[in-house]
Amino acid sequence: MTCGTDTTIKWNGCKDKPGTKLCVSCYDQNQLDVAAAAGTTCVKCGTDTTNHQWYSCKDKPGTKLCKPCYGKNQFDVATAAGTTCVKCGMDTTSGLWLNCEDKPGTKICRSCYQKNQSKNKKRANANEE
């Protein structure tokens, strides 16, 4: 299972054929194939297929999550911990909680994060002129 390319941004080791190197696309597919062969299923929704990588479930060690459930699980864990946005003070968000670059170790809601990114881009553009 290789595409035959000899150029890639990164070469990765093949999980089921030690010593073999794979391009990024083939590596991603190989990881999914290995997980499928091992009978990997999502501990939250029960799916056994995903077009993304599998993630370790932090609140249930030894189990795996599909990407959609991983995102929701991260959100639920942060919400249960009483996370609040250091910018607006809200304790809810319509998306993921993100790390606040301005105040390391704190969280920021998606809305404030996007506003912060936009402000930083404008500032960077102004400095280039």
In order of 3, 21, 25, 27, 84, the CA distances from 8 in angstroms are: 11, 11, 9, 11, 41
Contact by Cβ (8 Å): 28, 2: no
Q: Which residues of the chain have pLDDT under 50?
A: 1
The predicted structure's pLDDT at residue 95: 65
Q: What is the pLDDT of residue 118?
A: 81
User: From the centroid of its chain, how far is CA 40?
Assistant: 18
- C-alpha span between 21 and 74 (Å, rounded): 32
Residue 94 has a pLDDT of 65
Q: What is the pLDDT of residue 117?
A: 81
pLDDT of residue 61: 84
pLDDT at 1: 47
